[in-house]
Structure 1
Amino acid sequence: MHVVVMGCGRVGASLAASLYRVGHEVAIIDRDPLAFDRLATDFPSERIVGMGFDRSVLIRAGIEKADAFAAVSSGDNSNIIGARVAREMFGVERVVARIYDAKRARVFERLGIPTIATVPWTTDRFLQAITQDSPSDSWRDPSGNVAVVAVNPHEDWMGRRTSALEDALRARVAFLIRYGAGVLPDARTVLQADDQVYIAAVAGRVAEAVALAEAPPPADL
């Protein structure tokens, strides 16, 4: 799907990269052209300089065909305006905004637009809100740095080693539930049909790892 990201700070750049890695088309907006330096030089997203709530800027970013819009600039007011323009003027269904002020966030939630605070797993939360296909964490450590989550691997992963899945996801296979019993995998463990798979991943990589697990294995694996 096509996603427009407003703001190319650390969260915006991370979110755009994660969306691209799991197969989505991304356009990213920032009023400061130097902000795009946070993106890899070969990152193929469209970079648009301008205010993310400006109608002409949004049209250049492809808002008219967008499936989702994420407002992650450093200003609450800009994020609120951008999100409302995307939802109300262009009819984008999946809109999410980062709001620093808790009172504003509660008001904004009542308007039907999800808001996300600045927490260690912001990228994961945004990616889940945009794609709406990632399960909730089964466990997360108190600092928010590591999460364990259930995944539903694509059927083409069956018969492959868990180590190959780990390489593709850049995450650990924490354990499996096989025939009702827990299994701690090692380098020789092979995935079987009906395995329940739980992975451990660091903040910012959880939702992306889930999406990659649900996709077919890379052709070069």
Structure 2
Amino acid sequence: MAHYVIVGAGRVGRRLASDLDAAGHSVALVDRSAHAVEATTPAEVVVGLGFDRDALRRAGIEHAQGLAAVTADDSTNIISARVARETFHVLHVVARIYDAERARVYQRLGIPTVASVEWTADQVLHRLLPAGTADPTRRDPSGRLLMTESMPHRSWCGLPLTRVEELAGLRIAYLTRYGEGVLPPADGVLQEGDVVHAVYPVEDRDRVETLLQGEAARARTRGAEDEDDEEGRA
């Protein structure tokens, strides 16, 4: 079980809290006027501003697996997300953005953003949950291949995309970079903030997601061990 902080107690925030609670996680909702929703959410409710460090600490940010900022104000969302990422080093952070043009700027800061017109509670769950990035409907007709989206651990940034594919055992279909879908360049490298849309066998899902959410050095070590095993068998 992991802990998640949701900034914003509106419809989307309450839906996220309910879904995360149903999945067995602990959740804290932060809102400056959250008293009115205490009876309608299973989450712990913390009254305060989403970018206030004391309010975030009361919400358990120091041991949180992820934070979603989903208020109706872009500035609140992005500041909350930056505080979570830069001050408390929260691994999974996502911000709701109404201004699609500004979303590009925030993507450069390494914070996943979703424009309001594209936003659904399911989409933020895909970005918050380290093992929740797979959409079961995104499989090939035989059911053998799965496409998922994830933002790898920052230690993967700077690696050639071909090396990412080799280490993780996947094929990169496309990237979301600065809020736009792009085909992976043949000589491209992974940049901070990139969302990787990858294809791999269904049975490899846990292995791939564990690798991408961990440090790249571990994947390199595992790859070297596999090569040694193959040489030993030869």
Superposed pair shares fold, TM > 0.5: yes
Aligned position for 1:105: 103
The equivalent of 1:6 in structure 2 is: 7
Q: In the comparison of the two structures, how many residue pairs are matched?
A: 143
Shift of 1:100: 0.7
* Counterpart residue number, 2:186: none
Aligned-partner Cα distance in 2 for 1:119–1:22: 26
Q: 1:9, 1:38 within 8 Å by CA — same for their partners in 2?
A: no
- 1:56 alignment partner in structure 2: 54
SS in 2 for 1:92: coil
Q: Deviations over 1:153-196 (max 9, x none)?
A: xxxxxxxxxxxxxxxxxxxxxxx9599xxxxxxxxxxxxxxxxx
Report matched runs for 1:134-145 at 5 Å: 134-135=132-133, 137=135
For 1:6, the aligned partner's letter is: V
Give the aligned CA root-mean-square deviation in angstroms: 2.4
Deviation for aligned residue 1:132:
3.1
Partner-residue secondary structure (3-state), 1:83: helix
Task: Name the aligned partner's letter for residue 82 of structure 1.
Answer: S
In the TM superposition, 1:50-199 aligns within 5 A as 50-119=48-117, 122-135=120-133, 137=135, 148-149=137-138
Query: Which secondary structure state, in structure 1, belongs to the residue aligned with residue 93 of structure 2?
Result: strand
The verdict on how the C-alpha distance between 1:49 and 1:136 changes in structure 2, with shifts beyond 3 A counting, is same
8 Å contact from structure 1 (residues 99, 117) kept in 2: yes
Q: Is the 8 A contact 1:8 1:35 kept in 2?
A: no
1:27–1:133 CA distance, 2 compared to 1 (3 A): same
Q: Distance in 1 between matches of 2:91 and 2:99?
A: 24
Q: Distance in 2 between matches of 1:89 and 1:37?
A: 28
Relative distance call for 1:123 and 1:111 in structure 2 (3 A) is same
Can you give the 5+ residue segments of structure 2 that lack an aligned partner in the other structure?
145-205, 207-234
Structure 2 counterpart of 1:32: 33
Amino acid at match of 2:15: S
Compared CA separation, residues 14 and 109, structure 1 to 2 (3 A): same
**What 5-or-longer segments of structure 1 have no aligned partner?**
139-147, 151-175, 180-213, 215-221
What are the superposed Cα offsets for residues 14-70 of structure 1, whole Å, 9 maximum, x if unpaired? Answer: 011001111111000111134515724xx2x21001101001100100011111010
Contact 2:68–2:94 (Cα < 8 Å) also in 1 = yes
* Per-residue deviation, 1:121: 5.5
Relative to 1, partners in 2 of residues 1:35 and 1:76: Cα closer, same or farther, differing over 3 Å?
farther
Q: Percent identity?
A: 50
Q: Is the 8 A contact 2:98 2:116 kept in 1?
A: yes
Deviation string, structure 1 residues 122-158 (Cα, Å, up to 9, x no partner): 10110010013235557xxxxxxxxx455xxxxxxxx
| Higher RCO (C-alpha 8 Å, min separation 6) | 1
Q: TM-score, normalised by structure 2?
A: 0.56
**Aligned partners of 1:104, 1:3: CA distance in 2, in Å?**
25
What secondary structure does 1:87 align onto?
helix
Structure 1 residues 110 and 137, CA, compared in 2 at 3 Å: closer, same or farther? same
CA distance in 2, matches of 1:133, 1:95: 15
